[in-house]
Chain A
Amino acid sequence: MLDKIGIAKRIAKEVKNGYYVNLGIGIPTLVANYVREDIEVEFQSENGVLGMGPFPFEGEEDADLINAGKQTITTLEGASFFDSATSFSMIRGKHVDLTILGAMEVSGNGDIANWKIPGYMVKGMGGAMDLVASAENIIVAMMHTNKKGDSKLLKRCSLPLTGVGCVKKVVTNLAVLEVTSDGFKLLERAPGVSVEAIQNATEGHLIIDGEVPEMDL
């Protein structure tokens, strides 16, 4: 079974040379730390920066330079700044190659719910609805089950949706799954996790096609 860093490491392998990538808050943010160093990638933050770098050293923070999570950041060579409409033009216009975000629920038909739990304080969707409605290549990073142990990979989402039919791939602490027209296709198992354990933790339709390899981290 993987921890959050393990999930981030596995997703980092999906980041290819020349990609512009938007990382959501939480596990997705960690992905930047594990991308291969021999490839060229630029990270986009929807508040208006492309070419985002690591956190600043103490004393070098700039109040005018933050990421979408409102954390202080730095920029790398070749970076640029732009307004919010331009930022979402990059996203809506499919210029961003890969979007990685967290979720509360994903359904076998690619629906995603990650912004609202009825009965609780709703903080808002931020840029998530724009991202999922437009990105061609969306990977969800999340734990396979919630804190109560219920599956987060469902036949149908029970929470209010963020987007419909948009998720292509899900990487969890247990598995890598591809969203197909028939449900979740099991591509890889986390180290030491059996197909049976994945099956038991998946409420949605799980497609098991032959031998399922263990993840190569």
Chain B
Amino acid sequence: MINKQVANVKEALKGLSGGMTLMLGGFGLCGIPENAISEMVDMDIKNLTCISNNAGVDDFGLGLLLKKNQIKKMVSSYVGENDEFERQMLSGELDVELIPQGTLAERCRAAQAGFPAIYTPAGYGTEVAEGKETREFDGKMYVLETAFKADFSFVKAWKGDAAGNLMFKATARNFNPNMCGAATITVAEVEELVPAGSLDPNQIHIPGIFVQRIFEGKGYEKRIEKRTVRQKT
């Protein structure tokens, strides 16, 4: 067993510095690497480029980094839930690249899988395709999108073991598996870290080869963005 376990979040983020490009898992506030984000706030590193489907809310998730002006650029598909984000975007303090959600996932996966680029139909004929190479296959047009290049990938999983194997829960899975192994260093934080051998190999979603560092996170808030319920009839 190759041991990937590190003692804590500080050790997990060793080598992380300002100006780096990061991938962060999560959809809305679901499945975000809460511990890594909170450590980055404490480290006060600046000029980060963050590849993440969303940008958090004003006081949680990536919103915490935005509030301290730690992010230089966001690469996202949807950023609608954050007033501070809006202010920084409109004032020009923050550079924002909006890309289709499936393209975002696939540019991560391409980096993970060793493809330099992929062709996707998404965005053809729209401003997303401007300046990009296009090509016809079987009578349909596609846009060439390149694999992301990132220094660190921060993912959140439900369970993991010391070998770096990961299991995700429900829709907290989202972009997390696609970002594993897609950056130079992948850091996985898990709700429950178990000894190697205690997870069933049949049930593992991401094999430890895609993960460089793993640690058990603390104090997960797991905030619900839109609590929606129905009445018992």
B contact residues vs A (CB 8 Å cutoff): 27-31, 53, 76-81, 86, 89-90, 98-106, 108-109, 120-128, 158, 168-178, 205, 222-232
Contacts and interface: CB of A to CB of B under 8 A. Distances in A.
Contacts of A73: 228
Mostly, the B contact residues are: loop
Contact of A164 (B31, B125, B172, B174): B125
B109 A85 contact: yes
Interface string A126-162: 1111100110000000000000000000000000111
B27 A66 contact: yes
Interface string A24-53: 000000000000000000000111110000
Nearest to B229: A58
A82 B173 contact: yes
A133 B171 contact: no
A121 interface: yes
Interface of A: 45-49, 54-58, 60-73, 81-85, 87-88, 91-92, 111, 121-130, 133-134, 160-165
Given A66-B225, A72-B226, A72-B227, A92 B78 contact: no
Mostly, the A contact residues are: loop
Contacts of A69: 226
Given A84-B101, A162-B126, A54 B230 contact: yes
A70 B89 contact: no
A65 B170 contact: yes
B114 to A, nearest CB: 15
12 contacts: A60-B229, A64-B30, A66-B28, A67-B171, A70-B225, A71-B226, A72-B224, A72-B226, A81-B168, A85-B178, A123-B78, A133-B121
